[in-house]
Structure 1
């Protein structure tokens, strides 16, 4: 498969609907397109791409589309240095250097540039573990709509407070549910047909996941590393945004909530978790109380 060289696109309509069938394009297609929206990710994009490109592309072909979204740092430059690595591993490679579109706009631009019938949407700070790409391709094969992800692991935090919070948070029902998909989720062509453009929502990953019933969601073997923000004020800010994103979907797409299907956290289970990890529980409660003390302001907040 031809390795596409980095290119620049300055004029783009980020909210033009994506086609229903990703294969209806007059250009070479790949089995998998990995779309990475990136806004000022110079500290993260290199390791993200290095982990993704550590294994050869699937036999049927794959490509990476990095959408640099209003970057003012070295994100584009560092991304372009991975073009040779991608070519050596058989991956197609594109870099779109675009004005600030917001994350939904960047995802839509990446979708239009991509050619794969399967789509993997990957945050620029995620590090994929071995075997995940091959597992996703296997899971998404076939004609039935499918959504797939792997098991997330929280990256080692620098601050003790974030370590305590993350340790407790990872035991909650959502984090323990199959294929929660935060930071990494993939769909096949019939799955991608479930929606047109990415809507202007706070939580794009929750929106997509809830378009699929539990039986249509697959967790493949392997894991990926996802970082959590450092420090109390950052945890409060991001948690407030996450809660606002869920509330927004409840308000605008109430029909999707039936697809959540996560187990309820009973009072007995919560007490048991608190007894096993009192420090983590106290940290989680403190963040939760701070979130409730001030409503969300509706502004975009980095997820780490």
Structure 2
């Protein structure tokens, strides 16, 4: 049996609108990716996610890869991540949201970044996908300029670890923010952002932006309570008054929308539990 270099684990719940885009981009990868297995972990899907994903198996086989669909009756992203991990055989693991489209060189660059004996975390360069609503476009114009995002290795929707890195934790714990949990298991000098981009869709509309921002805040607060020691690895650049002034001058409409979302989030406590990110 061929050794698998990369296992790509894709949790998917009712993703028929996105799974074609995601898998087409994966199967269009170029460069030295090595042997790749793709595991689509469908969880409590009520749409065509399973059948659409299964339709890509011949295309994967044609390039010497494997694609399997795990059809779970129970829902939940953490459940799906753990089921994917149990089924995966690759030396390195790539965890990919089903609404992400990767640039063609991404897997090869991630594989190269992880091809060391020491623990490593890798991700691509995050690019916010074009939004349909003006509110989301305005919000994104500020968000992508935030120090945290510009600092790199954000890992929202796409992160990967090598075998030594995966040994940092056991099963995924039942937390809201799995991507933050994994990122904080690595020191800044262990986290790598490769040049190839991945395209991450932001939620559409003011109410959804507020809802997701509440979820993000709740996820960070939960991790601070459960795993306070992990925050020694944060190294997150703070948003200074000077940063705010520059943003207000450069993207005034976006700054107003970003500020209004921030205020709306503070008016109500964060929602408990996991919430879809779009």
TM tier relative to shorter chain = over 0.9
Report if aligned partners of 1:55, 1:89 keep a CA contact under 8 Å in 2: no
Matched, 1:140 2:139: no
Matched, 1:32 2:12: no
Provide the secondary structure at the position in 2 that maps to 1:174: helix
CA RMSD of aligned residues (A): 1.3
Greater shift after overlay, 254-263 or 131-140? 254-263
Structure 1 unaligned segments of length 5 or more: list them. 2-27
**Paired residues for 1:226-241 under 5 Å:** 226-241=200-215
Task: Select which of 111, 127, 133 maps to 2:101.
Answer: 127
Instruction: For 1:139 and 1:43, locate their aligned partners in 2 and report how far apart those are by CA, in whole Å.
Output: 31
Detail structure 1 runs of 4+ shifted over 6 Å in the superposition.
Answer: none
Report if aligned partners of 2:218, 2:271 keep a CA contact under 8 Å in 1: no
Instruction: For 2:30 and 2:236, locate their aligned partners in 1 and report how far apart those are by CA, in whole Å.
Output: 35
Instruction: For 1:81 and 1:61, locate their aligned partners in 2 and report how far apart those are by CA, in whole Å.
Output: 20
**Paired residues for 1:44-123 under 5 Å:** 44-55=18-29, 58=32, 60-123=34-97
Name the CA shift for 1:93/1:56 in 2 (closer, same or farther; >3 Å). farther
Provide the secondary structure at the position in 2 that maps to 1:148: strand
Matched, 1:273 2:244: no
For 1:194, the equivalent position in structure 2 comes to 168
Instruction: For 2:59 and 2:269, locate their aligned partners in 1 and report how far apart those are by CA, in whole Å.
Output: 45
Greater shift after overlay, 196-205 or 245-254? 245-254
Once the two structures are superposed, residues 253-302 of structure 1 have per-residue CA deviations (whole angstroms, 9 ceiling, x without a partner) of 11111111122221112111111111001000111111111112313211
Give, in angstroms, the shift of residue 58 of structure 1. Answer: 4.5
Give, in angstroms, the shift of residue 101 of structure 1. Answer: 3.7
Report if aligned partners of 2:43, 2:80 keep a CA contact under 8 Å in 1: yes
Once the two structures are superposed, residues 196-245 of structure 1 have per-residue CA deviations (whole angstroms, 9 ceiling, x without a partner) of 00000000000000000000001112101000000011111011001100
Instruction: For 1:159 and 1:60, locate their aligned partners in 2 and report how far apart those are by CA, in whole Å.
Output: 39
Matched, 1:169 2:143: yes
Give, in angstroms, the shift of residue 137 of structure 1. Answer: 0.5
Please report the TM-score for the alignment, with normalisation by the length of structure 1.
0.89
**Paired residues for 1:173-184 under 5 Å:** 173-184=147-158
Structure 2 unaligned segments of length 5 or more: list them. none
Instruction: For 1:249 and 1:286, locate their aligned partners in 2 and report how far apart those are by CA, in whole Å.
Output: 26
Give, in angstroms, the shift of residue 115 of structure 1. Answer: 0.3
